[in-house]
Homo-oligomer: A and B are copies of this chain.
Amino acid sequence: MATLSDLNLNRRALPAPLPLDSGRELPGVELAYETYGELAADGGNAILLFHALTGDQFVASDQPLTGKPGWWVRMVGPGKVIDTDRFFVICANVIGGCMGSTGPSSIGPEGKPWGMEFPVITISDMVRAQVALLDQLGIGRLHAVVGGSMGGMQALSFAANYPDRAERVLAIATTARHSAQNIAFHEVGRQAIMADPEWQAGAYYESGKGPEKGLSVARMAAHITYLSEAGLTEKFGRRLQDRDSKTFGFDADFQIESYLRYQGLSFTNRFDANSYLYITRAMDYFDLAEEHGGMLADAFRKSDARFCLISFDTDWLYTTSDMREVVHALNAVAAPVSFVELSAPFGHDSFLLDVPALDRVMKGFLE
């Protein structure tokens, strides 16, 4: 398998250190990004896509480490819902990430990987970096910002902090605030990573190993939250894996066990454990109301964008009720908003999967 340094990634350096919500500055920031389609002469056809926790900039092209198709290839491309014959689509790896943007695995000012010396970042720091990238690329007002899950958090944060910079804000399967239960699941993942002796307080890069077992457990725990209980029952139930009867042992007797182990192991080939720590921390810190004096409506008071919010009925990670809080805040400032709860069996992951109603709603909104 290729490693990151083998890849010829599209990268852009930011011209100045990035101010962070913590009060620190991040020097030497580079953002790795992909674009699809062509920027119109007037610059008005650009859509900024934000990726989710474990996503990256490879939206509609093969992920070079795994060779797998982009994470939203069903949605983005010529003639598709986000039509690259019409729109210029940009997606950048978030800061803190591990697909080429500056993160804990990048070489820091002391000439070695940052590790846990990397500053703790926030969702709004991630967005600030991407707005700086837009500035570098000469892109002013966007046709739309679009994102699901953590990508939706970035879309809402963008709307709040750059209120005149996008005509449309499309946020899917997301929340304006991480709940206690959301934080709890992330904390389990972080503790699993930190419990792995190969983590070495984050300084594992030169050891040739890393906290792969811990990261794998973290991914397994998170993965459960991405699927619905009913979806798991339908997909796996209590079916056995390649065997006729239970083995009375600790092998993966059940398909669900085998599936989760695979999800955990394959994740470690493409994701950096420290990035997982930093990005989950950013999500846990996310509370858009708190950032705006405790009143969520105030976050959107200056926005001149149109909003479209989409939740899924089986998503128990970021629920319809979470999304309704955003709707109510937008209503309170008379912002134009359409909101729909879609029915889909896949839980939180519905935004990535084949949900025709999602396509129709998105296409209509982005016209």
Task: List A residues 118-164 near B (Cβ within 8 Å).
Answer: 119-120
Task: List A residues 233-261 near B (Cβ within 8 Å).
Answer: 233, 235-238, 246, 248-250, 252, 254, 256-257, 260-261
Q: Is the interface of A mostly helix, strand, loop or mixed?
A: helix
Task: List A residues 185-241 near B (Cβ within 8 Å).
Answer: 185, 187-188, 190-192, 194-197, 213-214, 216-217, 220-221, 224, 229, 232-233, 235-238
Q: Is A181 an interface residue (CB 8 A)?
A: yes
User: Interface residue count for A (Cβ, 8 Å)?
Assistant: 55
A199 to chain B, nearest CB (A): 11
Contact between A184 and B232 (Cβ–Cβ < 8 Å)? yes
Residues of B within 8 A of A22 (CB): 248
A110 to chain B, nearest CB (A): 19
- State A194–B214 Cα separation when bound (angstroms): 10
Task: List A residues 267-311 near B (Cβ within 8 Å).
Answer: 277, 281, 284-285, 287, 290
Q: Is A180 an interface residue (CB 8 A)?
A: yes
Copies in the complex: 2
- State A178–B4 Cα separation when bound (angstroms): 41
Residues of B within 8 A of A192 (CB): 192, 195, 217
Given A178-B238, A179-B233; A256-B184 close (CB under 8 Å): yes
Q: Is A168 an interface residue (CB 8 A)?
A: no
Contact between B195 and A254 (Cβ–Cβ < 8 Å)? no
A322 to chain B, nearest CB (A): 10
Given A180-B233, A180-B236; A119-B248 close (CB under 8 Å): yes
Given A237-B180, A238-B180, A256-B180; A185-B224 close (CB under 8 Å): yes
Given A188-B224, A248-B22; A256-B183 close (CB under 8 Å): yes
